[in-house]
Chain A
Amino acid sequence: MDPAVVLVAITLTALFTPISCSPEHPQAPNSTRRHDYCVLGAGPAGLQMGHFLAKSHRDYVILERNSGPGSFFNFYPRHRKLISINKIYTGRQNREFSLRHDWNSLLSDRPDLLFKRISRDFYPDADAYPRYLAMYVKELDLKVRYGVDIGSVRASDPGGSSGRSYVLTDQYGSQYSCGVLLVSTGLWVPQQVPFVGSDLVEGYESISVDPEEYRNQAVLILGKGNSAFETAQSIMGRASRVHLYSPNPVRLAWQTHYVGDLRAVNNEVLDTYQLKSLDGLVEGRLEDIAIVRREGGRRKAKRGQLYLTLTELLNEGARNGSSNVSAQSLPGFHSDNFSLRQPYNRVIRCLGFHFNFSIFDSSACPPRGGGARGRLPGLTAWYEGRGTPNLFVLGAAAHSRDYRRSAGGFIHGFRYTVRAVHKVLEQRYHSSAWPATRLPTSQLLSWILKRVNEASGPYQMFSVLGDIILLHGSHCDYLEEFPIQALPQLVALSGHKVPKRGLLILVMQYGLNLNNTLGPGRAESEWTRAWKSNFLHPVLYYYDALPTDWDMHNRPTGWPLPRPKAVHHMVEDFLTEWDQPISHSQPLRRFLEHCFHTDLRAFFAESCFRFSLTSRNPPLFCRQGYLKRQGIVGNGKLRQHARDAGLMPGHQDSDDLIEDTTVPEYLPHPGAAVASGVHYDL
C-alpha cells in the first residue's frame, strides 16, 4: 500500500469518527459539522453513493438544497416524458440480467426496490422519478439533509500529517468539513452561446410547454439534441414552421449506439422534414449568427419578427442592438434562396446544460474537462477531480470520462461507476481491497460466460467498466467492474497485486460501425470474424504485465485499451446470449488455453482415471476435479457419444457388466481374529 494512502486513512478516522451527526436538529450558524464523506446533491448519483456508504457503515451525509430528492426531475425534461426505457418484461428471471434493460432503477440489495414499482410505462412520466428516489431514500434509510444549499466549497489543506479536506458553507453560514467530498450536483445550468441577439432567445428552461401558445408560429430552435427535438415534437402540431439549427448534423442514437444522441422516440420532426411538411434542419456555427428583431413594415405587429443573420452582415449599430436592422443586414438580401430567410416568431435555445463550477473556490475547483466543450469537470479515470484530491465527481457531471462513448452520463450507466468509485474509496481510505471472487482456473470459462450472459455493469458501461481477472496459475481472482482507463493504477486502486502470469480484462464493446446500421451485412455471425462485430459484444484482452500510462495513452485509435498480448472477440449475438458451444464457448476456451498455456478441456472421470495413472501431470480439469474426488462420471450414453466422436478410446463400457458380488478371497478371512490394539497416536 502506498504510504500516502495510509496517511489519509489514518487522518480520516482520527478526524471524523468521534463526531456524530443528528440531521433532525437545525444547525446553528457558523457551527461546523464533520463527516468522513459528504455527498453533494440527492439526485440518483448522490443517493446511489449514499446507499453504498450506508451499506459499508461509513460516516456520511447527503446534502440537498431542495426539499426532496431528484428535484431536477420535477422540472426536466420540460415535456415530462423520460426517454430512459423501463422494460418490465424481459422473459428472464435473472435480476442482474434484467438490469440490462432497466434504465431507471438504482442498485441495491433489495430485489423489489426497482423503478417498475412506481411506473409501468415504457417511457415513464418524469414525475415518477422523484417519487422513486423518495422511496429509495426511505426504504434504505439514507441520511439526506434537505434544505442545505451549499454556496461555497473550499479546500482545507493544513499540510503536515493531516490530509486535505473540504469545507462546505451553506446558506446560513453553517459549515461542513468533509474528509472526502463526493460531488453529485448533476448538470442543470443551461448552456449558452454568446452571439448578437442572444437576449432575444428563449431558453428550454423557461419556454411554455403548452402547444397552443405556438399556434401558427414560425419557430427556430437552436440545437439538435433530445431537448430540441422534444420541444419540436411537442409544438409541431400547432406551429407553422419548426426549424432546427446547430453546427452538427443530427446524430441518431440508433446509429451511434450513444443514448445521448437523438432517440427515435423524439424524432418525429425528421419525418416531417423529409416529407417536406414545412419543418427542417440546418447546420451552421452558433458563434457566427445573430438574431435580430425587425419591425414588420406597416402592419404594426405587437412584437417585431425575429430574423437569423450573420454577425458579419451587421453594421456597428445593429451589433450593439442600438439601431434598427436594415434589409442589407439580412442574408436573404445577398443570397435570395438562403434557407432561413423567413422571419420567426420565436427562437428557442435548447443547448443542454453545464456543470456548476461557480460554487467551488479556486482551491477546490476541478478544471474544465477537455471534452464536451468544457461543460464538464476534468476527472481522473477513477473520477477524482484532476488536482482536487479527495474530491470525486459522480453522476451526469462525471460524463467527461466517457462523453459520447458510453453511458456514464446517464442513470443506467453511472449507477455502476458510482459503485466502482465506492470500491476505490474502500480501498484507499479503509484498506479494504476490491472484492474478488477466487476461482479455480478450470472454472474460469463458465464464470466468464456467466458474466457475459448476465452482468449489467459492463453491458451498460461498455468500453468503460471491465472485469479484471488476475491469473495466478491454478486459480484466478475475479474483480468485477473496474474502470479500465485506470488500469495502470490497478494495484493502488484495487489493493490487488498483478501476478506474474498476467491478467485478463473482459469488456463489452460496440464494433467498428463502418456499415450502414440497418443495411445488409450489419451483423456478423461467423465467430472467426468476431472482431468485425458491429453490435455490443464481449472482448477479452490478455496482458502479461500491467499496461503503463504511456501504453494507455498511445493505445490504438478507437480502442478502450492498449494493444494486448492477445485479444479475443466473442462474436455478436442477435439474442445477446453468448452460450453456444461452437461459436462462443470453444473459441473462448482456446483463447484462455493460450493465456494459461494449458489444456482447459473438461474430461470424464474415466479419462481422468487414465491420465492420473499414466501421467504425473494430468490435465488441470482432472487435477481440480477428479483428483479432488469430484470427477464427472457422466452416464453410459454420454461416454458412448465421446467414444463415437473419437475423443475417448473405444472399449466396451462397464455399465452392463454384472458385478462380482462374492466376497473377494483376498480380504481378511472370517477366521482371522479381531486385529486389536492398533493404537493411533492422535
Chain B
Amino acid sequence: MFGFILGIVLYLLPQRFTAANVPKLQECTQESFSAKLQAGRMSFIYFGRQVSPAIALFLEELERSAEALEDYGISVAKVNCSKADVEKYCASEKVLKKSYLFRGSEVLRSFDIDTVFDVNAIVSHVLFTVLFNEVRSVQIPAELLSIERLAKGKVDVVFGHVQALGLPEHRALMEAAFVYGTKYQFVLTTGGPVLKHLGVEDPSSLQAGLWFLHCKDVSRVSDRCTHTVMRKPLTTLNLHTFLQMMDVPLLTEDAADPAEVDVVYSHLHVPVLFLFAQPHTLALDRTTAESLAWRLRGEVGVVLIHRGGTDATATQKYNAAYKLPEEGATLKYITFNSVEDAVKLFREKTLPEGNRDDDEDEDEWAVLDVLDDEVAESVYRDRGLTLDLEPVAELTGDTFNGAVARRGLTAVLFYVKWDAVSMAVLQSFIEVAEALKDVLDVVLASVDCGEWTDVCSSQQISSYPKVLMYRPGELAQPYRGMLGTDSLHRFILLSHTGNPVLLSCPSEAHTFLQGGVGERCPELRPVRVLGLFGAGQDPGISVFKDAVRALRGEAHFGLFAGGQAEKWAEELSVQLPALLVSRWPGVRSQAHAIRLSSVQELLTLIRRLLLEPFPELTVDNLPWYLEQKKPLLLLFAHDGGAEKADALLEIRGLLEKGQLDAYLPCWIHMGRTPAGRSVLETYLGFLPQLPALVLSQLSTGGEVFHFPTERPLLEGTVLQWLHSVESGMEKSTGVVTDGTWTPAVPFYDFLSIMDEEMPGYASQRDPKTKTTSTKGPEEQDPGSPVNSPSPHRHSEL
C-alpha cells in the first residue's frame, strides 16, 4: 500500500528542504468542506474565527505542514468559521484552539493547537494517529520483549526513542514509519526503563535514538535479536539512509578496481570502504571484512575487492581504500593495521563530537575478556575478599584420615580453587559451618584438591565440588542434594538425628507423626515417615533400616514395631507392614501398605511418597518433579490474597477428584521464587495479572497455554479449558524452546591467526617438496643441523 509513496518520498527527500514554497493550504467553504469529507481522503482541518498573532503563527506552520502532508496523501485545510459556519465544528467554544483529522467524514482525532504547535508537531502527530495500529509504543522492557518475541523469524523491528511527541525526531520517525511500516515493525518510546534494557546508561540525557533489532533471522525463541544502533542524528534523511543500509547486503564483493566499482552503497550517500583481499587468504580476509562490516553496519558500506593478478595498481601497495559520500570526494588509499584503525577512521570522520556509544563499542570489542559465565563472574567480583575459612576445618593429607574417623558426622567439601563453582559452594559451606557451629558431633571440613591431590584421588573424587558425609565405621555417603546453604544445612541436621527413631507405643508414634519425638529441629518441618511393622517382621525391619540409612537427610524417619504396633495398626485399619507419611503437623498422615522385597524398591517407593501431589515449585525442588515428565499445570501466584488461595483450592479439588492424573498440578509463589516472574514472562511474552494458570507441555508438545484471565478460575472452567487444549481447540500462547545451547561467544581461532601471521607455520608439509633433511619424523628439530651430525652430544647420565 505504501509502495508508490516510497517512490515519491525517495524522490522528494533530497529536495524536501529546498523546494519552492507554493501555498498548499486551502481555505474551505462549507461546500468544499463537505466535498472533501465525501471524497474519503484523509484531511487535517483547522477551524478558526479571528486571527490573533498566535493563530497567525500557527497558520504559517499549518501551511508548511500542508506541503509535507501532501506527500502522504493527507490534505490540509482551514475553515474560517466566520465565513463558512460548518455546524458541529464551528459551534464549539474552543473552536479557536482545535483542529481535526478526518478519514472521510469520520473524525480520527482532534488536536489542541498547543499540541500541534509547529510543522514538525503537526506532521508527527498526524502520522502517529494515522499509523496508530502500526506503530507500537512501549515503556517497559517486557513490552519490547513481547514485541521482539512475536517478531522473531518474521520481521525486523525499528525501535525509536524521542524525548517527547511532536519533536522533529518524532516526525522523522513517523515519516519513516509511514514509508517502511509494512516492512518493519516500528516501536516508539518516550523513555523509561526500556532504554536501560537496551544498554543506555542514562536515559534521561538521551535526546533521541534509534535501534534496529535484527529479529527476522532469529530462529530460536530463546535467542535475543541483535541490534544495530543508528549513530547519526535522528533526521528523516539519516533515518532513510540507515534503513536502506539495513536492507542491502552487509558485505559485497567485487573484482573490479575500486575506482570503477559500482556498488549499491554509492547511491545511499554513505562512505564506502574497500578492503583488498589476497587470493590465498581470501577466506580469512572475508571473515575480517565481515566483522568490520558488522561494526560499521548502517554507517559505512564495506566492499571486499578480490585482488587478481591483473591489477597492478595501488591495491598491491595498500590494503584498503575509502570514498566519502560528499560530492567530488575522491578515492583514498590507505593501509590499516587493525580493524580498530578502520573503525576509528569512520567514527572520527562521521562523528566529530564525542559519542556516547564509544564506550559501549569498546566493551563489545573487549568481549573476549569479559567473563560471561555468571558463576565465574560473581566469584571473580569477590576476588578482593579473603574467604574466612575459620568455621570449616581444613584437612590435609596428614589429618584427613583421623578427621573422618572421629565420632559423629563429618561433612567434607572437596574443591579446587580455580573452579568458580567450587568457590561459590565453599561460600555456602562456610555459612552452613557457621550455622552449625554449636551442634554437637557435627564437623564441616574441606579438602583443597589442588593441593592434596592424593587425598582426593583416594576418595575417588573426579568432579568438583563434591560433598561427602563421613561417619565412623561407615562408607562415605555422597551428598546428592542442592549445593546451597539451606539445603545442606537441612540435610546435615536431618541426617544427624537418630535414624530411624525407635518408637515404643502408639502415643509416641502419634507424637512422632505430629512432629514431637526425636525432632531436633522442628523448624525444618521435614516430612515424617513412620515404618510400621508387626511382630515377626524382622527381615522387613532390616530392609527398612537400610533404606532409611540411604535416605538420611531427606526426611525424618521413625520405626514402630511389635505387638503394640500391630494393635495400633488395627485401630487405624492399616495392613502391615506399612508406611505412614505425615507432611505437616496437625495434618493426618497417609498410610501405604508395603511389600518389602529389596532395599532399592523400598527406596524408590519412599522417594515417591516424599513427593507432594500438588507441590509448590521452588528452585530447590523443581528437578524432583520434572522427572515425572508430565505437562505442568502451573499456577503463578503472588503473596497473600484470597484469589490465590481460591485458585489453589480449585485445582486441589480437581486433583482430588482424580481429574488431573495426566498433569502435574503445581504452583509457583512469585515472592519466594522470583525467578518465576521471568518464567511466566518467557511463556507469555508479558506479565499477566496474577494468579495466572498456565499449561506447559514441557516434555511433550513444547507448547504453552494460558488460561484466559477473563474466565473465572473454577474447577469446571479449568477442566473445560484443559479439554479444549487437548482437543486442539485452544491456541497456544507460547512455546517452550527446544533449541540447543550453542556457544554464546565464538572461540578464538588460533589456527586462522597463525595462517594469517605466519603462513605455512601451521600447514601440513607437502610431501612432494620434502627436503633431504627430513629422514624421519623424529628429526624435525630445527635446531639440529642434520646435515652435519655431531657425535659429541651427551646425555646427562
- Find out whether the CB atom of A247 lies under 8 angstroms from the CB atom of B464: no
Q: Closest CB-CB distance, A83 to chain B, in whole Å?
A: 5
- Find out whether the CB atom of A609 lies under 8 angstroms from the CB atom of B619: yes
Q: Closest CB-CB distance, A156 to chain B, in whole Å?
A: 29
- Find out whether the CB atom of B753 lies under 8 angstroms from the CB atom of A531: yes
Q: Which B residue's beta carbon lies closest to that of A530?
A: B750
- Find out whether the CB atom of A76 lies under 8 angstroms from the CB atom of B377: no
CA distance A613 to B790 in the complex (A): 70
- Find out whether the CB atom of B795 lies under 8 angstroms from the CB atom of A446: no
Which of B369, B420, B623 is close to A631, meaning CB atoms less than 8 Å apart? Answer: B623
Q: Tell which of A159-167, A212-220, A559-567 binds the partner.
A: A559-567
A651 within 8 A of B: yes
A352 within 8 A of B: yes
Residues of B within 8 A of A350 (CB): 792, 794
- B636-666 interface code vs A (CB 8 A; 1 in, 0 out): 0001000001001101100000000000000
Chain B facing A: main interface SS: loop
CA distance A631 to B482 in the complex (A): 5
- With contacts A77-B797, A605-B484, A629-B482 taken as known, whether A680 is within 8 angstroms of B372 at the C-beta atoms is no
Q: Closest CB-CB distance, A352 to chain B, in whole Å?
A: 4
Chain A facing B: main interface SS: loop
B401 within 8 A of A: no
- Find out whether the CB atom of B588 lies under 8 angstroms from the CB atom of A629: no
- Find out whether the CB atom of B781 lies under 8 angstroms from the CB atom of A615: no
Residues of B within 8 A of A666 (CB): 614, 645, 648-649, 651-652
Among B683, B751, B793, the one with the most A-chain Cβ atoms within 10 Å of its Cβ is B793
- With contacts A612-B622, A665-B645 taken as known, whether A370 is within 8 angstroms of B775 at the C-beta atoms is yes
Q: Closest CB-CB distance, A533 to chain B, in whole Å?
A: 11
Which of B583, B586, B747, B767 is close to A566, meaning CB atoms less than 8 Å apart? Answer: B747
Which of B674, B742, B783 is close to A651, meaning CB atoms less than 8 Å apart? Answer: B674
- Find out whether the CB atom of A629 lies under 8 angstroms from the CB atom of B619: no
- With contacts A605-B619, A675-B591, A682-B605 taken as known, whether A619 is within 8 angstroms of B796 at the C-beta atoms is no
Q: Tell which of A92-100, A330-338, A423-431, A493-501 binds the partner.
A: A92-100
B189 within 8 A of A: no
A647 within 8 A of B: yes
- With contacts A601-B372, A614-B682 taken as known, whether A552 is within 8 angstroms of B797 at the C-beta atoms is no
A323 within 8 A of B: no
Q: Closest CB-CB distance, B650 to chain A, in whole Å?
A: 9
- A194-221 interface code vs B (CB 8 A; 1 in, 0 out): 0000000000000000000000000000
- Find out whether the CB atom of B794 lies under 8 angstroms from the CB atom of A352: yes
- Find out whether the CB atom of B747 lies under 8 angstroms from the CB atom of A528: no
Residues of B within 8 A of A17 (CB): none
Q: Closest CB-CB distance, B750 to chain A, in whole Å?
A: 5
CA distance A112 to B398 in the complex (A): 13
Q: Which B residue's beta carbon lies closest to that of A186?
A: B797
Residues of A within 8 A of B749 (CB): 566
- Find out whether the CB atom of A569 lies under 8 angstroms from the CB atom of B378: no
Residues of B within 8 A of A263 (CB): 796
B87 within 8 A of A: no
Q: Which B residue's beta carbon lies closest to that of A354?
A: B791
Within 8 A of A (CB), among B503-552: none
- Find out whether the CB atom of A634 lies under 8 angstroms from the CB atom of B793: no
Q: Tell which of A8-16, A314-322, A399-407 binds the partner.
A: A399-407
Which of B622, B746, B782, B789 is close to A594, meaning CB atoms less than 8 Å apart? Answer: B746
- Find out whether the CB atom of B794 lies under 8 angstroms from the CB atom of A581: no
- Find out whether the CB atom of B605 lies under 8 angstroms from the CB atom of A680: yes
Q: Tell which of A113-121, A289-297, A300-308, A448-456 binds the partner.
A: A448-456
Which of B623, B669, B737 is close to A627, meaning CB atoms less than 8 Å apart? Answer: B623
Residues of B within 8 A of A358 (CB): none
A517 within 8 A of B: no
Q: Which A residue's beta carbon lies closest to that of B765?
A: A554
- B42-86 interface code vs A (CB 8 A; 1 in, 0 out): 000000000000000000000000000000000000000000000
Q: Closest CB-CB distance, A503 to chain B, in whole Å?
A: 17
B89 within 8 A of A: no
- A346-374 interface code vs B (CB 8 A; 1 in, 0 out): 00001111000000000000000111110
Which of A447, A616, A633, A680 is close to B593, meaning CB atoms less than 8 Å apart? Answer: A680
Within 8 A of B (CB), among A415-448: 437-440, 443, 446-447
- A584-607 interface code vs B (CB 8 A; 1 in, 0 out): 111101110110011111111111
B744 within 8 A of A: yes
Q: Closest CB-CB distance, A598 to chain B, in whole Å?
A: 6
- A441-481 interface code vs B (CB 8 A; 1 in, 0 out): 00100110110011000000000000000000000000000
Q: Tell which of B324-332, B352-360, B695-703 binds the partner.
A: B695-703
Q: Which A residue's beta carbon lies closest to that of B779?
A: A371
B486 within 8 A of A: yes
- Find out whether the CB atom of A610 lies under 8 angstroms from the CB atom of B682: yes
- With contacts A567-B750, A659-B672 taken as known, whether A649 is within 8 angstroms of B678 at the C-beta atoms is yes
B22 within 8 A of A: no
- With contacts A72-B797, A598-B740, A667-B583 taken as known, whether A674 is within 8 angstroms of B591 at the C-beta atoms is yes
Which of A581, A586, A615, A626 is close to B736, meaning CB atoms less than 8 Å apart? Answer: A615
Residues of A within 8 A of B397 (CB): 93, 111
- Find out whether the CB atom of B678 lies under 8 angstroms from the CB atom of A610: yes
Q: Which A residue's beta carbon lies closest to that of B616?
A: A664
Q: Which B residue's beta carbon lies closest to that of A587?
A: B748
- Find out whether the CB atom of B793 lies under 8 angstroms from the CB atom of A225: yes
CA distance A671 to B248 in the complex (A): 72
Which of B753, B765, B789 is close to A556, meaning CB atoms less than 8 Å apart? Answer: B765
Q: Which A residue's beta carbon lies closest to that of B743?
A: A593
- B576-616 interface code vs A (CB 8 A; 1 in, 0 out): 00001001101111111111110001100100000000101
Residues of A within 8 A of B789 (CB): 373
Q: Tell which of B31-39, B100-108, B423-431 binds the partner.
A: B423-431
Q: Which A residue's beta carbon lies closest to that of B462?
A: A437
Residues of A within 8 A of B464 (CB): 443, 446
CA distance A399 to B702 in the complex (A): 61
- Find out whether the CB atom of B743 lies under 8 angstroms from the CB atom of A598: yes
Q: Which B residue's beta carbon lies closest to that of A601?
A: B373
- Find out whether the CB atom of B572 lies under 8 angstroms from the CB atom of A609: no
A594-B747, A642-B378, A674-B574 known; 15 other A-B pairs, CB under 8 Å? A260-B793, A530-B750, A554-B764, A555-B777, A557-B782, A562-B764, A566-B750, A629-B482, A632-B375, A633-B484, A633-B485, A647-B378, A649-B678, A668-B590, A676-B591
Q: Across chains A and B, which 4 residue pairs bring their CB atoms closest together, nearest first?
A: A633-B484, A225-B794, A579-B418, A641-B378
Residue ranges of B at the interface with A (Cβ–Cβ < 8 Å): 222, 368-369, 371-382, 396-397, 416-422, 424-425, 427-428, 431, 449-454, 462-464, 480-487, 572-575, 580, 583-584, 586-597, 601-602, 605, 614, 616, 619-620, 622-624, 626, 632, 639, 645, 648-649, 651-652, 669, 671-675, 677-679, 682-683, 696, 698-699, 702, 736-751, 753-754, 760-767, 775-785, 788-797
